[in-house]
Amino acid sequence: MKMRIAFTGKGGSGKSTLAALFVGHLRAAGHRVLAVDADVNVHLAPLLGVTAGPEGALSRPENARQVRRHLLGTNPRVAGVEHFVPTTPPGPGSRLVTLDADDPVLVRHATALDARTHVLHVGTYEPDDIGAGCYHGHLAILENLLSHLRLDVDDWVVCDMVAGTDAFANSLHAQFDVIVVVAESTPESVSVARRYRELAAAAGVADLLAVVGNKVVDGVDRDYLARELGGAPLTVLSTQAGLRRARQAGACPRLADLDDVAPLARIAEYARSRPMSPGRREALLRALHLRLAGQDWVRSAHGDVTTQLGPVPA
């Protein structure tokens, strides 16, 4: 399987920690993994032991241009790197990113934990962004990278998304096979999970969602999640004293800090059972590109970007 999985949820739900532990689970199983920190708070990278400075952020303008220049290749459908929009698809002559250790994008912009595991971070707000930008613009380079990604069998992409529902701003909700919504047994956390479900249904990707309960104390918490979500979560992680103590000591989370790794195995098993077909992903991304192409700001800045699309697949 070639799998893409995203972790999201209310801020503080533990989504970044769970994503880091899931990366550890995949590494232990021998998979090639690309971990992407796409949270404005930049938590996943440090949880994996990576220093995520602004100079290495994908969204840094010079880095984004370099990545897009590489992806563009000789694709005649895109007039230049400045005409990449979030939904720009690959075309003839485009270069695709792989999880090979010598891939140019990984060599220049990722941190290697080992030859089979690389970490990218999108970045956060910088002083120059104050009053003049939003995080959606930062995420556009991630959308470009994901749409120009070629995975081999047993490769995984694990993305820690920004908290809340920003994945529906452009095309990120269509880029994954599974979107894990991490929920605590609180009204606020459950309300985010329910909202994500509503938006996913409206976007035609309700089947991609899986809710995972986190920091569950007892049966009352389990019952609360099941009642408020209209069914039991895919799996739950109980409150982990060992993990909490490790984090309090400033240590990166490890599988050894967990009482039970079965919930991580359950998430992986679930993801493998429902990969998105290439045809469905292409159709979703095509529709989203056409919708974006109709926006006035896109027409004003880039002209008619519908020409970036190839023929409709037979």
Q: Supply the range of the domain harboring residue 63.
A: 3-262+269-278+286-295
- Residue 191 domain-assigned (yes or no): yes
* Residue of 289, 280, 275, 276 whose CA lies nearest to 313: 280
pTM exceeds 0.85: yes
Out of 79-83, 239-243, 284-288, least confident range: 239-243
- Residue 132 domain-assigned (yes or no): yes
What would the mean pLDDT of 98-116 be, rounded to a whole number? 97
- Residue 300 domain-assigned (yes or no): no
As a whole number of angstroms, the distance between CA 274 and CA 206 comes to: 13
Q: Specify the number of domains making up the chain.
A: 1
* pLDDT band per the 50, 70, 90 thresholds, residue 312: confident
Q: Is the Cα torsion angle 15, 117, 234, 236 positive or negative in sign?
A: negative
- Residue 304 domain-assigned (yes or no): no
State residue 128's pLDDT score: 62
Residue pair 165/194 in contact (Cβ under 8 Å)? The answer is no
* pLDDT band per the 50, 70, 90 thresholds, residue 167: confident
Instruction: Decide if pLDDT at 127 tops 90.
Output: no
- Residue 301 domain-assigned (yes or no): no
Instruction: Decide if pLDDT at 159 tops 80.
Output: yes
- Residue 101 domain-assigned (yes or no): yes
- Residue 213 domain-assigned (yes or no): yes
State residue 136's pLDDT score: 57
* Residue of 170, 143, 5 whose CA lies nearest to 64: 143
Give the CATH number, domain containing residue 56.
3.40.50.300
C-alpha distance from residue 265 to each of 16, 29, 83, 278 (Å): 17, 10, 41, 25
* Residue of 4, 10, 2 whose CA lies nearest to 181: 10
Instruction: Tell me if residue 19 falls in helix, strand or coil.
Output: helix
Instruction: Decide if pLDDT at 126 tops 80.
Output: no
- Residue 310 domain-assigned (yes or no): no
The token pair that represents 271 in the structure block: 């993801």
Instruction: Decide if pLDDT at 124 tops 90.
Output: no
For the stretch 174-223, pLDDT in tens is 999 999 999 999 999 999 999 999 999 999 999 999 999 999 999 999 99
Instruction: Decide if pLDDT at 225 tops 80.
Output: yes
The per-residue pLDDT of the chain, averaged, comes to 93
